[in-house]
Amino acid sequence: MPILSETTDAVTTLTIDRTHRRNALDLTTLEELDAAVTAAVESGSRALVLTGADGHFCAGADLTELEDVTFTERLAEVLEHLAGVPITSIAAISGSCMGLGMQLAVACDVRVVEDGARFAIPVAKLGLMVNKWTLERAARFWGEGAARHMVLTAAVLDHEDAWRLGFTQRRGGLDVALDLARAAVPLAPLTQQGSKVGMDSPTGPDAAYEEAFARAWASCDLAEGQRAFTQRRSPVFQGR
């Protein structure tokens, strides 16, 4: 199985395991990843960690399958699904994070980067293009200057660049990412879900965010948070 899934204490870890290709994804693996993300949410996981086996996150797409735009169109759907899950997602990045690997990384909410990681969007070397969604998120998370640097000149950035430019929120390996995921688990789910909707919404009035905002302010979780605060105890949130 090219996607390994393990759930402990409401944290699901998905590991891309195609080490013979430095974890580059083909269409079969892409479909399995999408199914694994769905299964994690449906099983009640409260946080998701995405990583790669044997020292590499994901070296990109398996170019032997890129005969037309079919793969790219399906990839766009999978990325938007990953970005939109109602739980906190964390990319635990080591080694190569290139092309499609970068797309997976920007689809996650938070990134933890290990020393030695390398990043690139080398489409100009291949005559390809990534979709606008990828360009926009790369510019948001790296900064527009760095995103243009990678896309237009095929520059390869490293873990120090990722830290200096704010692409990564923590430095370290999978253990650090799991600690971060476990810290997210007991927090208020409606706040997390609604905040993700807000941060991914366009500027200006947004009905989905307004609905999420109203739901959180009318929730049992808000009442529980207030009780816990006055009682000097940790709240127990139910997501309702």
Instruction: Give 128's pLDDT tier (boundaries 50, 70, 90).
Output: confident
Q: Give CA–CA dist 179/135, Å, rounded.
A: 30
- Under CATH, domain 3-184 is a member of which superfamily? 2-enoyl-CoA Hydratase; Chain A, domain 1 (3.90.226.10)
For 78-120, strand residue ranges (E) read 88-93, 96-98, 110-113, 118-120
Q: 65-69, 138-142, 190-194: which has the minimum mean pLDDT? A: 65-69
**For position 222, what pLDDT does the model report?**
87
**For position 179, what pLDDT does the model report?**
98
Q: Give CA–CA dist 211/204, Å, rounded.
A: 14
pLDDT value at 204 more than 80: no
Given a contact cutoff of 8 angstroms between Cβ atoms, the answer to whether 40 and 7 are in contact is yes
C-alpha closest to that of 110 among 163, 56, 44, 180 = 180
Residue extents of the structural domains in the chain: 3-184, 189-230
Neighbouring-strand partners of residue 96: 118
Helices (H) and strands (E) in the chain, counts: 10, 9
pLDDT in tens, 71-117: 889 999 999 999 999 999 999 999 999 999 999 999 999 999 999 99
pLDDT in tens, 7-31: 999 999 999 999 999 999 999 999 9
* DSSP conformational letter for 118: E
Q: Give CA–CA dist 237/118, Å, rounded.
A: 38
> Which residues fall within 8 angstroms of residue 32, CB to CB, at 6 or more apart?
1, 2, 3
Given a contact cutoff of 8 angstroms between Cβ atoms, the answer to whether 141 and 121 are in contact is no
